[in-house]
Structure 1
Amino acid sequence: MNFDEFTGQLQHRLGTPGTGETVRAARATLSTLGARIPEGAAEDLAASLPMEIDWYLTGAPREHGQRFDWREFVQRVAEIEGAEPQDAAYHAQLVMDLVAELVPPSDLADLRGMLPEAEDEENWRKLFAVVDAGGWVDSSASAP
């Protein structure tokens, strides 16, 4: 998948009016995720993404492997995206759903194992809520 396909699919899922808002949501989610996970894991995850998007995981974070909980993750995403926290959390779920379609299942499983802190495991599962529900469903598509 190339950059235009990635942003087009994400824009449709997010329902954003323009590419700028879509890219901002992807950047906010992936750069915050890249800061949370170790550098090698970010590189593994990024390898399956378009090169314009993979940079958010690998090049944008100043420091990889930071320790922060789900609430801090959402706050950081919201701040970068310029969105309300509840919107940012939902956008992060949709970004991760698209990423989950592109990366090998083993990389996604490794990512899941890196995120939860013992006391915050249930909250981190929220990041994968759309993935775990069977993926995003295009409600605007007409049935055959």
Structure 2
Amino acid sequence: MQHDIFIGQVQARGRLDSRGAAESATRATLETLAERLPPDLAEDLAAQLPVEIGEHVRRVTADPTSDHAARFGQGEFVARLSERAYTDEPEAAHLARVVFELLDEATTGGIMTKVRNSLPDDLREFSRAGSSD
């Protein structure tokens, strides 16, 4: 999936009023997800995404001060995302589900299954909402 298509779909499915808001939601979701994943799995995910989108993951994994493979569940995920995206938690949760849905569509080889298997149960189920994975 190309960058413009991915962001356009985030904007449409997220019912956002601008591409900038879609970029922000995508960045915030992927940065937060990257904090939760082991670096090698995060890199595998980034490699399957358009370069501009994968960089949101790589930026976190390359940062030596970042909290790699941090242990947090759905509540903390949504709180971190809300802070990064400058939105309230219900909207952040909705946008994260949209991005996860698109990650399912944009990746192959079971990468999202591996990503979900690395997450705690509550975050795994949250990331699966609306997916066919």
- Whether these two folds match at TM > 0.5 is yes
Deviation at 1:104, TM superposition (A): 1.5
What does 1:1-144 align with in structure 2 at a 5 Å threshold?
Answer: 1-60=1-60, 62-116=66-120, 121-132=121-132
Q: Deviations over 1:86-143 (max 9, x none)?
A: 1101110000000100111421111111001xxxx135301210114x8xxxxxxxxx
Q: Deviations over 1:12-45 (max 9, x none)?
A: 1111111111011001110000010011101111
Q: Aligned to 1:59, what secondary structure does the other structure show?
A: helix
Q: Aligned to 1:66, what secondary structure does the other structure show?
A: coil
Deviation at 1:63, TM superposition (A): 3.3
Give the gaps of 5 or more residues in structure 2: none
CA distance in structure 2 between the aligned counterparts of 1:90 and 1:105, rounded to whole angstroms? 26
- Is the alpha carbon distance of 1:123 and 1:6 closer, same or farther for their aligned partners in structure 2, counting shifts above 3 Å? closer
Q: Percent identity?
A: 35
CA distance in structure 2 between the aligned counterparts of 1:10 and 1:123, rounded to whole angstroms? 20
The AA in structure 1 aligned to 2:27 is: R
* 1:89–1:127 CA contact under 8 A, matched in 2: no
The AA in structure 1 aligned to 2:118 is: M
Deviation at 1:47, TM superposition (A): 1.2
Q: Aligned to 1:6, what secondary structure does the other structure show?
A: helix
* 2:100–2:128 CA contact under 8 A, matched in 1: yes
Give the gaps of 5 or more residues in structure 1: 135-144
Runs of 4+ in 1 over 4 A off after TM superposition: none
Deviation at 1:60, TM superposition (A): 3.2
Aligned CA RMSD, in angstroms, stands at 1.5
TM-score (norm 2): 0.90
TM-score (norm 1): 0.83
Aligned residue in 2 for 1:142: none
Instruction: Report how many residues are paired.
Output: 129
